[in-house]
Amino acid sequence: MYPLKEILSLLCVDGIGPKTYFQLIKKFGSPQKVLEATSNELKEIPRVNNDIVEQINLRSYEKCVSIQLDWIKYSKAKTVSYWDDNYPEILKFIYDPPILLFYYGELSEEDDFSLAVVGTRHPDEYGKRATREIAESIADNKITIVSGMARGIDSIAHYSAIKKNSRTIAVLGTSLDTIYPAENRSLMKKIQENGAVISEFLVGKKMVPGNFVMRNRIISGLSRGIIVTQASNKSGALITAYNANTQNREVFAIPGNILNNRYGGCHRLIKTGAKLVESFEDIISEFPQLQNKLKKQVNWIEENANNIKLTDVEKKVINTLTKDAMYVDDIVFESKCSHLEIMSSLLNLELKGYVKQLPGKHYIRVI
């Protein structure tokens, strides 16, 4: 709706955040008309102080705009504004939606139903395993995983989606030209190939802790539900959860050791209404629309088994398995096939992504 240069011009005025930006657009009609307004007209808007008025009058934002446009061209980054058709629809309805997103990769309609997975930067082995199992189950069902590309739980969530060739979105607390933590450079590239890396922050601006707090509203805003693992009482993941509550999103928490106060934040969330999560089924039970989607996937597999080149035994295994773990001997009994045939078929189906093996020779149907 508005040219990128106009949008950037107003964004480059220090002191104008999303709330003030929208107030200015509502009053004047466009970014360009804001920049053409008189000092007295501008001062009628709450939060517009003398410093903001002076920047607009002196056009001191122009250097910043030039830097952004040059960087976008050089880096081949993409942008999407609040007024563009491909702006994530779910994000438009949060408090203070970002005006402009810079991103690498691709945004997709598939991301309309996404789940966020966040938590501590220092998980123990239990936290790593629990996150991996939940995240992989989400990815197995082709649900986009949103997180913040931080160390620990965030990185595990992204890698779980990548492993399953499912979409994942990283929301940065820095501008796109700053990789933080630096060790996640390769992860960032992989995420771009499997989804998108996005940021609302202008390049060349100083990285401040408050930016990570701001980005948390986008993580929750892009998601239908938030799963929190091993968050401490002071964890930034709790801010994401609180944002989720105000945005009318579902909040889930994976419980930890009650004797370890280090991860007490999750227990606090559970006490205040978050749903305790032990498996992926605890999550989907809160989303009837998701259950219908998964049911359609299963029906498609069953109705189109001939087209996807499954053997007769593989078809029997697909029809026998459910979302509940099933012991291999029970699969043999129910399908009336030999143990050798079943083991061979299970291996093939697992490689094709239709079933998943669990500990103790148990299997579940993924789709």
DSSP 216: H
Q: What is the CATH number of the domain that holds 108?
A: 3.40.50.450
Q: Looking at the structure, do residues 266 and 118 belong to the same domain, yes or no? A: yes
Report the domain count for the chain: 3
Task: Work out the burial of residue 153: count CB atoms within 10 Å of its CB; fewer than 13 is exposed, 13-18 middle, 19 or more buried.
Answer: buried
Q: Rounded distance, CA 203 to CA 103, Å?
A: 12
Q: Looking at the structure, do residues 273 and 322 belong to the same domain, yes or no? A: no
Q: What is the DSSP string of 221-235?
A: HT-SEEEEES--TT-
Last residue of a domain, one of 267, 285, 303: 285
Last residue of a domain, one of 234, 264, 285: 285
Q: Looking at the structure, do residues 118 and 164 belong to the same domain, yes or no? A: yes
Per-residue pLDDT tens, the chain, 367 aa: give them. Answer: 899 999 999 999 999 999 999 999 999 999 999 999 999 999 999 889 999 999 999 999 999 999 999 999 999 999 999 999 999 999 999 989 999 999 999 999 889 999 999 999 999 999 999 999 999 999 998 999 999 999 999 999 999 999 999 999 999 999 999 999 999 999 999 999 999 999 999 998 877 888 999 999 999 999 999 999 999 888 888 999 999 989 989 999 998 887 777 788 999 999 999 999 988 888 988 887 666 566 555 554 555 554 557 888 888 888 888 767 788 888 888 888 888 888 888 888 887 778 888 777 888 877 6
Q: Is residue 114 part of a domain?
A: yes
Residue-range definition of the domain harbouring residue 266:
104-285
Q: Is the Cβ–Cβ distance between 199 and 78 less than 8 Å?
A: no
The pairing of beta strand 168-171 with beta strand 275-276:
unpaired
Last residue of a domain, one of 254, 285, 316: 285
Q: Rounded distance, CA 147 to CA 120, Å?
A: 12
Q: Looking at the structure, do residues 264 and 319 belong to the same domain, yes or no? A: no
Q: Looking at the structure, do residues 281 and 143 belong to the same domain, yes or no? A: yes
Q: Is residue 86 part of a domain?
A: no
Question: Helix (H) and strand (E) counts for the chain?
Answer: 17, 12
Q: What is the CATH number of the domain that holds 349?
A: 1.10.10.10
Q: Looking at the structure, do residues 157 and 295 belong to the same domain, yes or no? A: no
Q: Rounded distance, CA 209 to CA 308, Å?
A: 50
Q: Looking at the structure, do residues 252 and 177 belong to the same domain, yes or no? A: yes
Amino acid letter, 67:
I
